[in-house]
A and B are shown apart, each in its own frame.
Chain A
């Protein structure tokens, strides 16, 4: 355990097989991310965790750490790129935060706050996907889905159910429900499944739970996403195998 990389000048130890993200999380160094969750295999879709490794940009969640890598992470240039990525996610969906139950607990919103996003900048798509409220306890608003596939991974790997998938190409890619009818109510998903709780945005919500937490006490009201995600790493000590 004496191999190290440096991230923004800080010496960070790693073990063979760990990614740059694994090493960073272990050393309490925050690299912005949305689709990465240490409980699951890396995905590499959100691109927020791109860092500069020896001068080349790479996704830290998929790039294995190697001895003597020099990583730049918290730089104005990389954070500006990350802000543009978040702006792209905002205009691709209908992120009407004032009317969303996830507001204050949403990682997409919190990442946008962290990156000081003042406007979505680009032309809005206003996608027309329908809400699926067929399940008794869980509902889907696919206009808020950022295609991180955490629900897909959680359902397959933890719940052993394979309830969700991604279908379609390009801008038409969207979350689908693996039932003949395509309706969530016709799957064996139950409200206690990991997949029902892993969504970083307001795309998968539990019914009759909205607006229970007073404003001021929600996850990201007082703490930045950087602080919250570092705390959860420290407590949970997720395995990085």
Chain B
């Protein structure tokens, strides 16, 4: 009955590749230890559809379309601590290479001019989120409390960062753990 309330953690991937989530899973059997300390709210690992009140929100990927922005805002509104994880969330990374190409040119190239397409048209269903002109780092859209660089950060780095945060320490990365690539 006196069991300590578990830290509640939500994660999401915006304009990400899920590589940061895979790197989190790379902590392997420490996942059992992690689940002793935390419980997951909305994340690709659970079936929860919307982010509820959480202690920690972890965001992978930059912001490239309207749905990304909505999800990010929901995370910011519900998470006490918001963490930008991986190069995409921090500087837009490889997806941001499209920032110097006109969005309409991108769409035409992929949906109209690419060979082998039949009935070519640019998708226009309102179900689909509209892309932004550029890919934005998450901190250019909402306030971010912590940054965990890497593409992706290694499992050891993620483990060190998460355990610091969960146990109430200021996260600190050694030189070997700090990488942008």
**B-binding residues in A (CB < 8 A):** 90, 94-100, 103-104, 109, 112-113, 116, 118-121, 123-124, 126-128, 224
Contacts and interface: CB of A to CB of B under 8 A. Distances in A.
A97 B175 contact: no
B100 interface: yes
B139 A119 contact: yes
B93 A124 contact: no
Given A118-B149, A120-B91, 12 more contacts: A98-B87, A98-B151, A99-B93, A99-B94, A119-B147, A119-B149, A120-B90, A124-B96, A124-B140, A126-B96, A126-B100, A224-B175
B147 A118 contact: yes
Contacts of B139: 119, 121
Contacts of A124: 91-92, 96, 137, 140
B181 A104 contact: yes
Contacts of B140: 123-124
The B contact surface, by secondary structure, is: mixed
B65 interface: no
Interface residues of B, number: 27
B134 interface: yes
A96 B96 contact: yes
A143 B179 CA distance: 21
B93 A96 contact: yes
Nearest to A215: B181
B84 interface: yes
A121 B144 CA distance: 10
12 contacts: A98-B94, A109-B180, A113-B175, A119-B137, A119-B139, A119-B147, A124-B96, A126-B92, A126-B96, A126-B99, A126-B134, A128-B100
B97 interface: yes
Contacts of A90: 91
Contacts of A99: 93-94, 97
A140 to B, nearest CB: 16
Contacts of A126: 92, 96, 99-100, 134
A119 B84 contact: yes
B175 A98 contact: no
Contacts of B149: 118-119
B178 interface: yes
Given A113-B175, A120-B90, A124-B137, A97 B97 contact: no
Given A113-B175, A118-B147, A123-B140, A96 B90 contact: no
Interface string B140-181: 100010111101000000000000000000000101001111
Nearest to A121: B139
